[in-house]
Amino acid sequence: FRFLSCWRSLSCQQQQQQQQQQQQRSVWDEPIRFSTKTKDSCTMVVSGVGDYTRLRVSCKGQAAGRSYYCDFQGKPNLCRAYNLNPRHYFTQMMWDMRKLSHACQGPKIYRPQMCKKYPDEAQMTFLAAWPKTTTQKPSKPVQEPRKPAVPAQTKPVVTPRPVKPQSQPNKPMPGKGPQTKKTTPKPGKTTTRPTEQSDSKASRIANEYCWKSFHGVCTYFISWFQN
């Protein structure tokens, strides 16, 4: 019985290996063909290099002289779904490439849906391209270019000319009335009135020729006659 069970297990393993070999041959022997968004006709050829699986994508454009290729490398055999159906793995890659205008200007690492959860080692990674090209990076929101800031125009500083102080009349102090200059009158010449001279002369005459009791009357009449 042990012999039969071992033989059956060996036969099952052989059958699985044969199926895998047939699937791999279908991928390696029959290239996958597709067209890009710009009508470039492309082929996908799979080959093995040691423990790695290599993929070459070759394309030719409608315009004369337009041809290019790119290589990818990885270990998709680490993915269980790939071992069951490797051709479908690369077919899912082809669905993404045919949406591009240039088949070699896609993402750096392809993650087919059937092996999306597996690490980068199990995915096909961009290796090289001819002519040399750059792969697309994850798209970022496009920002509008900023306009150069225009420096604010500053007006030239005008320095005011020094103003000469104008002679202004003296303003009156608050709370005080207008001040007036005090004029000191010039000393005038004293003049003696003629009446005073005549009165003194008349009194002298009255003292000489009249009695004292009539002195005032005499002085009046003498001064009246003199005037």
Give tens-digit pLDDT for 68-125: 999 999 999 999 999 999 999 999 999 999 999 999 999 999 999 999 999 999 999 9
pLDDT averaged over every residue in the chain = 75
Determine the length of the chain: 227
Give the confidence band of 135 by pLDDT, cuts at 50, 70, 90.
Answer: very low
Q: State whether residue 180 is helix, strand or coil.
A: coil
What's the rounded mean pLDDT across residues 130-135?
Answer: 68
User: CA-to-CA distance for 40 and 33, rounded, in angstroms?
Assistant: 11
pLDDT value of position 101: 93
The Cβ-side half-sphere exposure at 45, using a 13 Å CA radius, reads 10
pLDDT value of position 27: 59
pLDDT value of position 36: 95
pLDDT value of position 143: 61
What's the rounded mean pLDDT across residues 154-182?
Answer: 55
- Structure-token pair, residue 71: 């290589």
pLDDT exceeds cutoff 70 at 152: no
Q: How do residues 10-57 score in pLDDT, each as one tens digit?
A: 555 666 665 555 555 555 778 999 999 999 999 999 999 889 999 999
Nearest to 93 by CA among 151, 161, 45, 158: 45
Give the confidence band of 1 by pLDDT, cuts at 50, 70, 90.
Answer: very low
In the chain, the percentage of residues whose pLDDT exceeds 70 is 58
What's the rounded mean pLDDT across residues 192-200?
Answer: 57
Longest dimension (CA), the chain: 207
Cβ(58)–Cβ(115) under 8 Å?
A: no
User: CA-to-CA distance for 159 and 157, rounded, in angstroms?
Assistant: 6
pLDDT value of position 138: 47
pLDDT value of position 214: 73
Give the confidence band of 6 by pLDDT, cuts at 50, 70, 90.
Answer: very low
User: CA-to-CA distance for 185 and 188, rounded, in angstroms?
Assistant: 8
On the 0-12 / 13-18 / 19+ scale of CB atoms within 10 A, 97 is buried
